Amino acid sequence: MIELRTPAEIEQFRPAGRFVAEVLRATAAAADVGVNLLDLDHLAHQMIKERGAESCYIDYHPSFGASPFGKVICTSVNDAVLHGLPHDYALRDGDLLSLDFAVSVDGWVCDSAVSVVVGTPREEDLRLIETTTRCLDAAIEVARAGNKVGDIGAAIASVAKPAGYSINTQFGGHGVGRTMHGDPHIPNDGRPGRGYPLRPGLVIAIEPWLLATTDRIYTDADGWTLKSADGSRGAHMEHTVAITDGDPIVLTARD
């Protein structure tokens, strides 16, 4: 069911958005050569505990997951792009790391993701992250009342495809509210003017993700981590956005 929020309710999302941004800033800053993915999860876990927030991941067990997730942040490295299950792995120089985090604060959920390079960057990784960031910016720009879900997907594709990247539409954005995943689904490709109409009060997570040389993925043996079919690297950017009568509100802005 698609729910529209009042302006007062949208204001109640803001503490969750600020906290999600804070955790992603902290974990991205801590992601250095030699740091273990489990240490990043522990840092996020401690911040959740201190804030009195509630993880959206630790007990999460959808149909595509092999078991409850069991951790509080997704850590996807190199050829992993989504749902990366933290495990005993020390980050190496040049790793491309995507962090995805969702949490409930006072009953309202926000969800966001960011990709960073650990240590010495590769030019192709920087280009991949920059393009994915531009995809998100373009999508947010058209997240306005009167447009439709297809306009968001088309905006993402209008950036990604000319840059030489293909798009997988199996996983994309989604409604956000009292729970992490709700309607409508927000594909990362689409036709302008098609799909569910964007109305004031709709709160959605927009999350373009790209792989360097493929749009095909598979699930790792851990039952969660989604990896590229050809071993190429991936980047993932996401913000929770509220549709209003005017400009969209980026609830998880990190600046």
Count of structural domains, the chain: 1
For residue 2, tell me if it sits in a domain: no
pLDDT > 90? residue 66 = no
Q: Which two tokens stand for residue 38?
A: 């489990």
Is this prediction's pTM over 0.75? yes
For residue 246, tell me if it sits in a domain: yes
Q: 184: cis peptide before it, omega within 30°? A: yes
For residue 244, tell me if it sits in a domain: yes
What is the domain range of residue 105? 7-250
Is residue 125 annotated as involved in ligand binding? no
Q: How far is CA 92 from CA 36, 83, 84, 95, in A?
A: 10, 20, 16, 6
Contact 128, 116 (CB under 8 A): no
> Residue 62: pLDDT band by 50, 70, 90 thresholds?
confident
For residue 140, tell me if it sits in a domain: yes
For position 114, which CATH number holds?
3.90.230.10
Residues 196-202, mean pLDDT to the nearest whole number: 97
Is residue 239 annotated as involved in ligand binding? no
Is residue 45 annotated as involved in ligand binding? no
3-state SS assignment for residue 209:
strand
DSSP 27: H
Is residue 207 annotated as involved in ligand binding? yes
Is residue 83 annotated as involved in ligand binding? yes
For residue 1, tell me if it sits in a domain: no
